[in-house]
Chain A
């Protein structure tokens, strides 16, 4: 018994022979048989992505506790803002993450900037500018080290772990973002962003939810590149 692959190949060949026999004239250019078909744009992200939902922080003390789990006293939650946190699956791994607006603690700049710190410092505005080039991750490597200074508004993004997300005691992976806090913090599912955006091909590759912000007067969003958070200005001038 012939395998299915052979049968389909045989049928395909036979049908093509018949079809060619119907043609008046055969004109075969070198690559005619290998024309690439026009393709529909692929989804820029995973439309079936499922995230374990986690209730938002119940109190400011819980919020402080979450950040203190990793940062100890190195940062203080900025309670002067109503929108001092957002939750979402920013890295697209199915666990819910949290992003918290924080400020450097007093007298801890050396610790915040330590070579051995427990967080990865970065400036997504710089990453975003570099990521505009074609070879995204290659460009990221050209960034300068990010140094936190007193008075900086910072965004601490804590990646969730499994079903409990950012609440899990093992949720310790964190990125400390400088120049990423603006006027209004919110989050958006990448799926809805793709639905609402007219020209999807201008969007960067999205792996998870995005954090919407307005930086330097320009609305846009922070997104996970797979290795870093980058800034994408949604309205280019």
Chain B
């Protein structure tokens, strides 16, 4: 018996030591057998882009043709009051008056190799807060009362995006809200809301560590049974920023006493137009990052990170958890930390982390501060090993109907946020003057770069039939060759507002956040990543770091010029 015990002890110690040196960063109290999904856990390795680390998807890394730092000046309406000459479209349609034909080489990537693709003209992407499709899928008809929606049309996909999840559907046990649309609804489904996400962890030196179970502290939990068998319900799975002295109420463990003082709130992001954002070639984002230092005297340098494409890896290396297996990556562009590069990955991650519903891309149920509360405990009645209804060979978890594919299709089919034509018409002079200041500030007769070097005004999406997302998606005509006006570079920057949280981009991203797209910013009255700023002026002044020079020039503007710049923002 003693030999057994000694052997067990030695093997245990060896295993623990190996695990410590091999594993990702976790907080002290987090059991390792309950990994958070990759986008919700601090990565140990920086995932920044290097040449050759991702497929540039047809755009060279030094490209200057698929984006511009120039801001469009709006043409006056007939008889309008503008005294500023209308500018040309800053990204001209490149010899695209006639339809172009592109032959896709057979690269074995599953993207329709050898197919002939008709290239649509390079045109502005459709915009509108009108609940209409961008053309990717048919508009369809409204869902009849008492009828389940059928995926495939905009209105039915939208209805599924708006669907309220229940505990029987797999909601929770911890979650933030019951429907995608609850956090993405102002002024239409898919847009923003005032809902915020809470994240926490702690920092030692320059290294961030997750709170137990991951940095996301879910705002809500489902009702939980009491151990005495009474019919009364309680709220045992509710997460909070530690300490949690009563942690032992689940699992019988000791109190969680470690503080997690690195905290932040994150406002809900807009998803309208995200299909176009997904269709931006990796090379375009890399090129923007490569060209920023030269444009700004090395002051602005957006960071590109490569993040796993979950749908390209889920069968071979789920969550890319095994560093010894191949992991298909793409340039991140979705989420405050650019933690995703594809909309399907984004949808799968959000379904788990925001609604608590496991799905074929992320099958590990969320914990309550690291305490397992998934199926098999009294807190979760829906198993996570259910096969997909349409693909029995694939485990779909609680999302057996693969709703995440519908969410992704809905987001891909949305129009981009529109500007307000009436504001532009009525305040044209100020809007145009503000647009000019957004692009260039002239101080003492010298022109300087301005906001648009990060809040990039125009980007062109990849051509029709471009294979993206690690070979799992081909850019369709409805999203191809579209000029979008997101006012973002979709890169990570340190402008002094970094929230200190690390997700899957590595520690290099600790003090950085993604440049928030300003399209639709007029629908927000709580600004910046944490929603703390209530006015545009305060939000601008809060920028520092890489933006310090631009802000110091903003501070030299006259009150009239500042008002014009803000008027321009109010038109976006």
Interface residues of A (CB under 8 A from B): 3-5, 7-12, 14-16, 18-19, 21-22, 29-48, 70, 91, 93, 114-120, 134-138, 140-141, 159, 161, 169-173, 200-201, 205-207, 226-228
Contact = CB atoms under 8 A, between A and B. Distances in A.
A29 B252 CA distance: 9
A172 B555 contact: yes
B262 interface: yes
Contact of A18 (B8, B206, B541, B543): B8
Contacts of A9: 15, 19
B253 A37 contact: yes
Query: Majority SS of interface residues in chain B?
Result: loop
B18 A3 contact: no
B534 interface: yes
Given A3-B324, A31-B251, A70 B555 contact: yes
A30 B378 contact: yes
A36 B370 contact: yes
B103 interface: no
A82 B266 CA distance: 42
Contacts of B248: 35-36
A35 B258 CA distance: 15
B205 A47 contact: yes
Given A44-B259, A47-B205, A169-B552, 20 more contacts: A5-B323, A12-B15, A12-B19, A19-B5, A21-B4, A22-B8, A34-B34, A35-B253, A36-B253, A37-B253, A39-B27, A43-B202, A43-B204, A48-B205, A118-B555, A135-B198, A205-B259, A205-B262, A205-B263, A226-B500
Contacts of A10: 15
Given A35-B252, A141-B526, A172 B551 contact: yes
A36 B211 CA distance: 12
Contacts of A116: 537, 559, 562-563, 566
Nearest to B543: A173
Contact of A39 (B28, B251, B535): B28
Nearest to B530: A137
Interface string B19-63: 101110001111101100000000000000000000000000000
B528 to A, nearest CB: 8
B206 A48 contact: yes
Contacts of A37: 28-29, 253-254
A4 B22 contact: yes
Contacts of B537: 115-117
A11 B14 contact: yes
Contact of A36 (B198, B254, B500): B254
A141 B526 CA distance: 9
B542 A39 contact: no
A46 B257 contact: no
A119 B555 CA distance: 9
Interface string B498-539: 011000000000010000000000000010101111110110
B250 A19 contact: no
B92 interface: no
A-B pairs with the 3 shortest C-beta distances?
A31-B251, A35-B253, A39-B258
Given A43-B202, A70-B555, A18 B4 contact: yes
